Amino acid sequence: MKSFLGIATVFTLLQTIAFSQVKLNGNDFQARLDSGANVQLVDVRTAEEYKQGHLVNAKNIDFRKEDFLKQTESLDKSKPVMVYCLAGSRSAGAAKLLSENGFTEIYDLEGGYMKWNVEKKPVEGVVKSEEAVVGMPVSEYNNMLNSEQPVLVDFTAKWCAPCKAMYPTIKKIESEFAGKATVKVIDIDANKTVTEHLGIKYLPLIYLYKGGQIVWQTTGAVSEKTLRDVITKNL
């Protein structure tokens, strides 16, 4: 009997934890923000990221700071908390930690600020300039694609763990196909003009171009053999 009660308790606890952390797409996230409910919106990115633009009325609490939990003491555990980061990894970790520390209703933005921006949803704190170009201009990117060789483009970011894991493979492929194919690594934070123009939503992301057209693409980690085979096929 005790064993059964123990299992039931664990099952109930797991259900509670699962319910307390809900991932919402951009439309549902915005609808909940606009519903008039007394929600607490938290941007868990760094202060530097926050200053470049954030969701309207978001409070900044950096998930990677040692005092993250201490700062969340200013939040009301009885009210909903809505969290987001740049792409979704940090906010997922923040949602889990909040759930483990007594918060019972947590909503996590799927795709993060990056996807929210691509979908042209409301933000504030952005310094707008029509002429500002951050990193590679779109014209330079397009010129790179006008090649007789296949062009492999790897979109990455310093904060993206799978991207970091893929980097040695990408460099190996670049060396192996030198003179036969172009391999370009593009950091989305350092090249915002191009990545916003292309509407990049997820990382890791790899495009293979031939004749200026995308002939293959993949998201997530991919094997060295897969990259070698797809480039060889398009030589």
Active site residues: 160, 163
What Cα–Cα distance (Å) separates residue 17 from each residue in 11, 14, 58, 93, 223?
Answer: 10, 5, 24, 13, 34
Q: How many CB atoms lie within 10 A of CB 189?
A: 17
Interatomic CA distance for residues 108 and 218, integer angstroms? 25
Q: Are 134 and 107 in contact (CB under 8 A)?
A: no
Judging by beta carbons within 10 Å of its beta carbon (0-12, 13-18, 19+), is residue 124 exposed, middle or buried?
A: exposed
Interatomic CA distance for residues 22 and 110, integer angstroms? 10
